[in-house]
Structure 1
C-alpha cells in the first residue's frame, strides 16, 4: 500500500503582528491631522482577542477602522479574520464599536468544508480534529486538487494549509 500523505487546514492569526499593527494604528491616530484631536481611541484586548474603537461619531469610527485595516493588511493579516460588530451609541453622541479576532475553525464551518470536499468526489479522507481539519490521501495530486478547490471557496475566514507531508 502506498504511503499516505496529508495536510492540515487551519485558521490562525499571528497575534504579534496584530499587536504591531495595533501599535502603528494607535501612533497614526495621534499624528494624523484629521484624527489627532478628534477624541477617537482604539484598544486591543489580547487575551479576549478584541478590538474596541471609541469615536465621537460614526464617520470618525469608520476612519479609525480604515486606518487599522490598512495596518493589518500591511502586516499580512487577512481582514476576514476580524469580525466587526455594529456601532453602539455611547455617552453623548459618541460611538463604540468592537471586533473579534477569529481564530480556529468552528464545528459548523468544519462540517461545511468537509461536505464540500466530499462533494468533489476525490479519493481523500477528511477528519475534524478540534479547530482544524486533516485531509489525507495516498495521492498527492488529490491533495493538491483539494487545496486548489478550498482556495477558490469563501468560508468567511482565512484558511491556511500546513503540515503538508
Structure 2
C-alpha cells in the first residue's frame, strides 16, 4: 500500500517576534531626534497595532521603522493591514494597523483551485483557515510549495506539518 504525504498551508506569524519588533520601534522612537518630542505611542493589541502621533509625516516615519524592524525579524510585510489615518484630539493622528492571521475562504479557494488546475495528482482540502495538501510523492508536494511561493497572494504563507 502506498502511503500519502501531506502538509498544511497556513498564514500565521510569530507573536513573540512581533512583540520584539514593536518594542524595538518604541525604543527607536524615543531615541531618534526627529521623533523624540512627538509623544508618539505604539501599542500592540491582540488583533492590531495602534499608532498615535502628532502628524502624518511622523506616522509615515513610524510605519517605515515598523516595516524595517519586522523585516529584520523575518516577519512578512503582508501581515500588516494599514487602516485609515484618523484625526485624533489636538491636531494628532491615529492609525490602526490590523494584523492578518489565517487564510480567508476566498484565498483558500483560490489556492486549492490553482493546485487542482496545475497538479492533477494532488488533493487540496480547505480546513478552517488552513489548506491541507496531500499527494503520494514528496517531490510533487515540493513542486506545489515552489509554485505557491511564486504566486503573489495578499497573505503570508507558511508550510507546516510536512510529513
Question: Where on the TM-score scale, by shorter chain, does this alignment land: which range?
Answer: over 0.9
Number of equivalences: 163
Aligned to 2:85: 87
Deviation at 1:66, TM superposition (A): 0.8
Aligned to 1:138: 136
Alignment root-mean-square deviation, CA: 1.1
Structure 2 unaligned residues grouped into runs of 5+: none
Please say if 1:155 is aligned against 2:147.
Answer: no
SS in 2 for 1:63: helix
Return the alpha-carbon distance in structure 1 between the equivalents of residues 7 and 15 of structure 2.
23
Deviation at 1:122, TM superposition (A): 2.7
Please say if 1:127 is aligned against 2:125.
Answer: yes
Aligned to 2:102: 104
Alignment of 1:67-86 (within 5 A): 67-86=65-84
Taking structure 2 as the reference length, what is the TM-score of the superposition? 0.95
Taking structure 1 as the reference length, what is the TM-score of the superposition? 0.94
Structure 1 unaligned residues grouped into runs of 5+: none
Deviation at 1:92, TM superposition (A): 3.0
Deviation at 1:10, TM superposition (A): 0.8
| 1:41-89 Cα deviation digits (max 9, x unpaired) | 21111x2x21111111111100011111111111111111111112111
